[in-house]
Structure 1
Amino acid sequence: MKHLDHRHCSTLGTVHESDLTPGTIRYYDTGGDGPPVVFVHGFMMNANTWRKVVPAVAAAGHRCIAPDLPLGAHSIPVPDADLTPIGIADILAEFLDRMDLTDVTLVANDSGGVVAQILIARNPARVARVVLASVDCYEAFPPARYSWLTKAIKIPGATRAVTSIIRFRALQRLPFTFGPATKRPIPPAVMDSFLLPSRHSAAIRADLARFVSRGVSNTFTLDVARQLPSVTKPVLIAWAREDQLVPAEYAERLARDLPNSTLRFIDDTHMLVQEDQPDALTDLIIEFARQHPVH
């Protein structure tokens, strides 16, 4: 099968592919032998969302690794994979094993935070610390404003129509599309890197529809929430104070449930803090990793 061209920013590092049991995923790696930071993106995004954060984290001495997970903006179809959040968490766990990564700082945003929560509850061995940067959790999976999108994609044959509609740039800042996710528009080339894979590939659309139909449900987040009090890893909850999708009270709830957590708010940003306030998020990641060394 011919893979789609990747359109990611070169600041993410060198592109590679990893052959895992459920299928092949693409990832970006800055290299080096510094302590690893692994970045987990959300639904209908890919590693390119971390393009503003990776360079400074790498410059601070970390090896930065950003996989394209099969959440609808990936370039390599995985038709045989379990695309529930549990299945994707298991893909990420196998990826960490295959890369032989230890002492990992896991940084997650948006629905990637659901994957991260499940990973640290099920397979925490390779993860030393976690940054949950404005993530879906509890009842907010999906966030209420996006329930129309998940309902539409669950209609047989509707995925192509949905992905065709959101290709129009004039629609991408509306309250029911990408508008609430950022305070400022995402550059067109970056939006293309998110949206072109599902627009151009029926196999990617099939993966996207499978994830939504089987995986986007707060059954997963409410289930893992019951396990959070037993998570002892240090967790930084870095939340957009003006998050319109998963408001600040969810961050406070996570801070109560996670026994070794720190809550920090980031101003002047909506949910995608790596897009609106990358420098602030970068500083928090570097500081948090420095404050929690592995003994």
Structure 2
Amino acid sequence: MRTQMTWRTMLVGGRPASYGVAGNGPPVVFLHGWGLSHRTYRHGLERLVGRGVRVLAPALPGFGGTVPLPAEQFSLEGYADWVAAFLTELGVEEPVTLVGHSFGGGVALRTAHDHPDVVAQLVLVNSIGGSVWANRGELPVLLADRPIWDWGLHLAAHALSVRAFTRVVPVIAADAVPNFLLHPTTLWKVGRLARDANLAEELEELKQRGLPVVIVWGRDDSVLPWACAESLAVALGGPEVVTVPGNHSWLLADPRRFAEVITNVIGVAGDEETQAS
């Protein structure tokens, strides 16, 4: 029987924060993508728990029951500081494996940069951070120049695929709709933050530090196309890149594969519970 996540609430910086936790072993912290929450990924995270790790999955500020950041702290730096404070509040003393999907990947990058003692290794899953959206001839088109409507068009196309419509949309809707109703302004602001993020200096410093980084990418992603992955890999100095079938939401469509891939890249062994699940 697969171990289930336990959902809890505590104060981080004096403000309510929601998070999930399960398992024992080396700590793996998962940061969710834009518009979603920690609960959206529960099926994959619960499979990962059986691989011999302790999974911690916070809802980032403004999502899933966690209070938004104050206006003066609203930035990737503010989100990174919040993640470090979250781990301190939980009493996590050892460096963690930090896994981030999409916007959560950008937060993970900034956390690793700003709080080097917190992160032992970094796993970026279809993550923001690469500066290039597309390559057209010899001139790359920067992600910051991508029209907002184009993001929405490709997100909709992913949602309307047969596999996504039956497996992913119900899961996403359960979290995205409440997030939109409760904090619509936050969703818009975070979307702009993700689109306009410039992490060139942070990526260069992480490359110089030699922090272990693995990039995991769904090959059919059109929300963050392959050019984004390539520019991210170049900026980090050529880390390991693992490609998988699927689009931007592949880890929601195939939670078993997600657990297997993350297990392999962080180097932990599965136990009999996971093998049998």
TM-score normalised over the length of structure 2: 0.79
Q: Which amino acid aligns with 1:188?
A: P
Shift of 1:223: 4.3
**2:124 is paired with a residue of what secondary structure?**
strand
- Give the equivalent residue in structure 2 for 1:110: 102
How far apart in 1 are the matches of 2:254 and 2:185?
33
| Aligned residues of 1:39 and 1:50 also touching (Cα < 8 A) | no
- Give the equivalent residue in structure 2 for 1:233: 211
Q: Which amino acid aligns with 1:208?
A: L
- Give the equivalent residue in structure 1 for 2:184: 205
- Give the equivalent residue in structure 1 for 2:253: 276
Shift of 1:58: 0.7
The counterpart of 1:50, out of the listed 29, 34, 41, is 41
- Give the equivalent residue in structure 1 for 2:53: 62
**1:108 is paired with a residue of what secondary structure?**
strand
- Give the equivalent residue in structure 1 for 2:70: 80
Any idea what the Cα deviations from partners look like across 1:178-217, whole Å, max 9, x if unmatched?
A: 4336761224254122212331x3xx2343344456x345
From the two aligned structures, give the one with the greater helix fraction: 2
Q: Which amino acid aligns with 1:48?
A: R
Q: Which amino acid aligns with 1:179?
A: A
| Structure 2 stretches lacking a partner, 5+ long | 134-141, 270-277
Q: Which amino acid aligns with 1:184?
A: A
**Alpha-carbon spacing, 1:247–1:77, altered in 2? closer, same or farther (3 Å):** same
| Structure 1 stretches lacking a partner, 5+ long | 1-9, 151-173
Shift of 1:23: 2.3
- Structure 1 runs (4+) greater than 4 angstroms displaced: 140-146
Q: Which amino acid aligns with 2:117?
A: A
| Aligned residues of 1:143 and 1:245 also touching (Cα < 8 A) | no
How far apart in 2 are the matches of 1:75 and 1:195?
13
**2:164 is paired with a residue of what secondary structure?**
coil
Identity of aligned residues (%): 24
Shift of 1:123: 0.6
- Give the equivalent residue in structure 2 for 1:191: 173
Q: Which amino acid aligns with 1:59?
A: G
Shift of 1:51: 1.5
How far apart in 2 are the matches of 1:57 and 1:238?
16
How far apart in 2 are the matches of 1:218 and 1:212?
9
RMSD over aligned Cα, in angstroms? 3.0
Report the more deviating stretch, 34-43 or 74-83: 74-83
TM-score normalised over the length of structure 1: 0.74
